[in-house]
Structure formats: structure tokens, C-alpha cells
Amino acid sequence: MKKVFSRPRSLKETPFHYCPGCGHSVIHRLVAEVIDELGLRERTVGVPPAGCAVLAYNYFDVDMVEAPHGRAAAVATGIKRILPDRVVFTYQGDGDIAAIGTAETIHAANRGERVTCIFVNNAVYGMTGGQMAPTTLLGQVTTTSPQGRLARREGNPLDLSQMLAVAAGSVYIERTSVTSPKNILKTRKAIKKAFLTQLEDKGFSLVEILSPCPTNWKMTPSEAIRWVDESMTKFFPLKVIKDAV
């Protein structure tokens, strides 16, 4: 019998700890599949963040170094500059990459660091328990925006990917989601293209993935998926934001 589905070689056998309906498990798998497909497992170094995905090193079967909160792009820069023939990717949440790590990310992009960022946007600080994130939508209730985010009070959501597109060194930036098989396949394609951008020495690449967080959104998994499709994509439309490959 032909085997059509199995665990990617770049994932360990450790079961995921992520909540039911969370997008991280799917995204981990997509990244691992792409690493396998491109034959990069033995030359890849991954940099997970502080946040829900901090334990990514327990799941990916590649070399992994944990970065301080927000600093993944700087750590990745250090690795890539020393080992230019290796493949370096960061895996970061919205709070990590678009709030505390904004400076590191923008400057890595602007320098055109040959690294790939997997940016998981769920509009909330997940691991710390559902606080407002830089990407929290207007009106969205979180534990630190209890009346709903108000532009005047909490400020507007930040579209980091759009900002990064302005940077001269960024080459490929796409926003996708993991809310349907079609979107998942698109995400996989985008991740592959981002890694190829790095492999071809073109410059900085990033895939922003809108991802459900039913636990902190206080929704069922299917409600959460609908919320991504109907609400998040209004402010964060799914599209290729920059393609200078």
C-alpha cells in the first residue's frame, strides 16, 4: 500500500501542546514539510520566539536556538552572517515581531538579511493570557482592552508586513491564513517561496499567517476560523504584499 501521509522528517515525534483549534500546529507542519521538500533539514537553524511558539524547539527536528522576546531577527542575523550557506528562519508571534521586536525586524529587513520570518498573527498575546497585541483589531476585547480597542485610547492596529514592504532589503512578503485547505496550501506555497528567496540569496523574506486563537478569543474553533476570515482579513487582507523576487 502506498503511504500518502506521514510525519515530516523535520518534526520530532513529540505531540504538540497547542490548544485545540490553534493554528501553530498546522503552521509548524507546513514549515517542516517545506524544509523536507527542499532537503534543508541538515543545514537549517531555526529561531523561535518568546510566546506560545517558544517550545517550537521541542517539535522541530532541526537545530534551534531560542531568542529573547522580540530579538529573533537579530539572533538570526548573527547566525546567518557567520554561516551564510545555512538556512536560517525565525518563527514569531505578533507581539514578538510587531511590538517588542519591531526595530530588530525592520532593520533586518532593511539590511536585506538572507533570513526567512514566519510571522504568526493571531491578534492577541497568547501565552501570557490574551492581552492586547499590536495587531489587535479595533473594537476587539482583550484582557487589557476590556472595552474593546479604541484608536484614540489604545492606538490603531499595526500592519507590520506593509511597513516591511517599504524597506529596500525586503524581497518577498505575503500574507496568508490557515483557515481552509485552500488557504493552508497557499500558505505552504508562500513558505516555500520564502525559503527559496533565501536560498537564492535574494534578500529578506517573510510570510505573515493569520492564525486562529480560540482560547484567548473565547470562541469555538469554528467561530475562530470564521472570525479570521470575516474580521481579521478586513484589516489584514490576504495578498502578496511585496514580490521583488
Which residues contact another protein by CB under 8 A? 41-45, 47, 54, 57-58, 60-68, 71, 74-83, 86-87, 103-104, 106-107
Per-residue DSSP letter, 43: G
Cβ contact 67:90 at 8 Å? yes
DSSP state of 130: S
Residue (112 or 221) nearer to another protein, CB? 112
CB of 66 to another protein, least distance (A): 4
Q: How far is the CB of 20 from another protein (least distance, A)?
A: 21
229 Cβ contact partners less than 8 Å away, ≥ 6 residues apart: 177, 179
Cβ neighbors of 39 (< 8 A, separation 6 or more) are: none
β-strand pairing of 124-125 with 170-177: unpaired
**Residue 109 vs 137, nearer CB to another protein:** 109
Going by C-beta distance under 8 Å and a sequence separation of 6 or more, which residues neighbour residue 126?
Answer: 22, 51, 52, 93, 213, 215, 216
**Complex with another protein: residue 107 or 189, whichever CB lies closer:** 107
Shortest reach from residue 147's CB to another protein, in Å: 33
Q: How far is the CB of 184 from another protein (least distance, A)?
A: 25
Q: How far is the CB of 29 from another protein (least distance, A)?
A: 17
Nearest to 63 by CA among 76, 74, 51, 50: 76
128/156 with CB nearer another protein: 128
Q: How far is the CB of 235 from another protein (least distance, A)?
A: 27
CB closer to another protein, 83 vs 166: 83
Cβ proximity to another protein: between 105 and 179 the closer is: 105
- Please state, in angstroms and as integers, the Cα–Cα distance from residue 97 to each residue in 3, 219, 231, following that order: 38, 25, 21
